[in-house]
Structure 1
């Protein structure tokens, strides 16, 4: 027999009572097809020598967990009066194949000056394996596309994630944003291609704040120039003219006094000499005051976050791979995989975290600092691939408060996997902690 997923097919079986007493028979299905097979009637009462026709209906759902192919089964007839006389009739049913490949572009719209990142999520909801090939193009031919891999093989009920980077071929310094629509096509080996659309918004290379800042600086320079030309320059010129006139007037008065009387001149010279002598004496008395102490200026400094220069240090990147058995117990009981060992004189600064759950596990994941409460908690069912950035407020770990990862597995995914195995990628820096001044 053959049946297509989502449809039904039926067959009949004749059950005869070959015993000598009235008997009751129970009919059921044995095999992998039992969950989607029905027997009508399931219980019959027969007189000796009589028989009845039983209908068997096969109705597999359109589900990736019901694989395509030949499925053996058994029709078991159990006697209530003579259990040893029960019998089983064997047969097979051929389940037809169907294809259902779903494609999603995350995000559909992106923005960037030089590039934009997307992710192609592919789900095989059919009941047979398939191999997919991913391509992308835009009608304007304004973008170049790069994939981390183009081909992937998907089992029924599984998913694959392919990274896509779109780069504009031409860049511009200033101007309005430019829209570049494109199409991503996924071609399965067992069905027709599936396409999805996306848009890359290209931004100008110059930062938006640069031109306003230049305009403000130019306006300030122009205001200073006008202030100098209208107020400061005339005042300086007027002061210089007054000083020159005063010097000429003083010279003329001195010449007239010299011509009027030599005697007065001598007296004036004598008085000037006496004044000069007095001035010299005063200078001699005060000459030792030339040397003095110069105030010292303490050097300036800056206080760094956690006592360490966050912008320095050696870059690092590492992954934490978990492997946790399912548990329905208390959510506070976790299987913990510790992070890397941190030297006593080092500080681990985490600036980006990528959470990966490709098999679709269900449960809870935490990032902890030492034995304190968790810093980040995320449900496994909420993501397949998720990233966080902490550029302004990075996560800081030390040898006394190390990095810890905790997982509570509720349900393992990936087509019958026994364990949950989400992974986390950490990127950041190792920074030398400055010694404390005694």
Structure 2
């Protein structure tokens, strides 16, 4: 029971934008009158039509069904073999439904379109264009772009000369046209050129463009210079005929008035100066007497011993001069693996330079950096273990950049009490480990005797 089908031609061929047909025989192999529904399955179902779609057949009867394939000439339908199935569904005996399989070969077609934007450019030294290339075919294509002008007056530059374009896609190529010769003044020159795009699977296509070359001097420059010259001449004439005589008269009046005021002021100042000179002479005599008395007191006390001189530098352990030594600067980058929830797990690092028994590391500045936003705790100690002295206890999340300075009270480390870094990592910012940085600046000084 059910249906039987016969598709005489299973391998078909069709051109995009055209149609092709095939016939299929459908027979009722059941014992009762049955209704059959025919449809198409597969990628070609959108552009395939079946006539008739529904047939009623007596037992043992058959009918021819026409299948029309009409792929559009569009990039949405790719070239190549497209398999399909003709499904015949029985209403009375669904398990007896059947499918006839076949394939249709969609032919290749090429359609490359180009557009130059803008078609006309303007400039003194160059013109900028963009070539839009659309692949409206149904296969990928590689396009090679060239440009030329008949007078060979232009040089062309491309950001790229070859583009591979998928069906239905577009590519854009920037083109710069530069004139080989320039001119300072004159009318604009029209320099036409042709841009050609040669697809790998189709005939070349071309479009025209034009560069309007302008003079190097701006068009407004010469009129502006002429106007400025006229204004300058008018200003000179106005000054010589009207303003200069008035200014000279006003200046003379102002000079006479100023001279009169100056004479009065000078007489007043002379009188005042005389009074001040007399007072100054009196004060000088008094100062001379005071100086004589002070000299006598100094002579009387010159035999008494004075206080001891102040030291020239700050002295540290072992008699070291903390202001001397050799400048040093170094970076310590401790690394610790994440231990979420375990705040007692620290990675310990000896971060200072190697010291001998007489050397001291004097730290005057510390810069803490946490660029990755790690979370945890950082300890800076003098010495390690139970005898270690914690100097800094910083939460990584509290800073990105943090600096400390100790010029007046520097941090001192020795061989027995070295600089020690301890890092606890709770949550790394960008990887599986915390990576803060510490910059130390200071000096290495040498003591007069061993310090550790």
**Normalized against structure 2, the TM-score is what?**
0.51
Aligned equivalent of 1:213: 224
Among 155, 158, 162, the alignment partner of 2:173 is: 162
Are 1:40 and 2:51 counterparts? yes
Q: For residue 142 of structure 1, what is the aligned residue in structure 2? A: 153
Q: CA deviation at 1:122?
A: 0.6
* d(CA) in 1 for partners of 2:188, 2:271: 74
Within 2, Cα distance between the matches of 1:41 and 1:110?
59
Kindly state the Cα deviation for residue 231 of structure 1 after the two structures are TM-superposed. Answer: 8.3
1:21-420 equivalences in 2 (<5 Å): 21-223=32-234, 284=267, 287=270
Give per-residue Cα distances to partners, 1:305-335, cap 9 Å, x unaligned.
xxxxxxxxxxxxxxxxxxxxxxxxxxxxxxx
Look up the SS of the partner of 2:193 in the other structure. Answer: strand
| Partner SS for 2:168 | coil
Shift of 1:73: 0.7
Q: Distance in 1 between matches of 2:198 and 2:126?
A: 25
TM-score (norm 1): 0.53
Report deviation, 1:217.
Answer: 2.9
Quote the Cα distance in structure 1 between the aligned partners of 2:266 and 2:226: 56
State the 1:140 CA deviation.
1.6
Question: Hey, what does 2:18 align to over in structure 1?
Answer: 7
How far 1:128 sits from its partner (Å)?
A: 0.8
Cα offset for 1:222?
3.7
Unaligned runs of 5+ in 2: 1-11, 250-262, 274-452
Distance in 1 of aligned mates of 2:74 and 2:239: 83
CA distance in 1, matches of 2:165, 2:51: 38
Structure 2 partner of 1:19: 30
Paired with 1:232 and 1:123, the residues of 2 have a C-alpha distance of 72
**1:92-111 residue CA offsets vs partner (Å, 9 max, x unmatched):** 11111111111011111111
Distance 2:242 2:158 in 1: 65
Question: 2:349 maps to which residue?
Answer: none
- Tell me how far apart the structure 1 counterparts of residues 226 and 265 of structure 2 sit (CA, whole Å): 59
Displacement, 1:286?
6.6
Give the C-alpha shift of residue 289 in structure 1: 9.0
Give 3-state SS (helix, strand or coil) of 2:103's partner. strand
Deviation at 1:224? 5.3
C-alpha distance after superposition, 1:266-310 (max 9, x if no partner): xxxxxxxxxxxxxx99975674699xxxxxxxxxxxxxxxxxxxx
CA spacing shift, 1:94–1:283, aligned 2, 3 Å: closer
- Aligned residue for 1:252? none
- Count of aligned positions: 248
> Per the alignment, do residues 214 and 85 of structure 1 end up closer, same or farther by CA in structure 2, a change over 3 Å counting?
same
Unaligned runs of 5+ in 1: 240-279, 291-438
- CA–CA separation in structure 2 for the residues paired with 1:121 and 1:75: 42
Residue 197 of structure 1 aligns to a residue in which SS? strand
The alpha-carbon distance between structure 1 residues 220 and 288, as it changes in their structure 2 partners (threshold 3 A), is farther
CA 1:94–1:288: 2 relative to 1, 3 Å: farther
Say which SS state the counterpart of residue 217 (structure 1) adopts: helix
- CA separation of 1:283/1:194 partners in 2, compared to 1, >3 Å: closer, same or farther? closer
Deviations 1:222-280 (A, max 9, x none): 445666888899x89xx9xxxxxxxxxxxxxxxxxxxxxxxxxxxxxxxxxxxxxxxx9
Distance 2:111 2:35 in 1: 45
Measured in 2, the distance between the counterparts of 1:209 and 1:96 equals: 61
Bigger CA radius of gyration: 2
Cα offset for 1:56? 0.7
Distance 2:232 2:13 in 1: 87
How far 1:204 moved relative to its partner?
1.2
What is the aligned-residue RMSD (CA, Å)?
2.8
Cα distance between partner residues in 1 of 2:87 and 2:266 = 131
Distance 2:264 2:204 in 1: 108
- Residue 396 (structure 1) aligns with: none
Change (3 A) 1:13 1:224: closer
Shift of 1:27: 0.9
SS in 1 for 2:176: strand
Offset of 1:53 from its aligned partner? 0.8
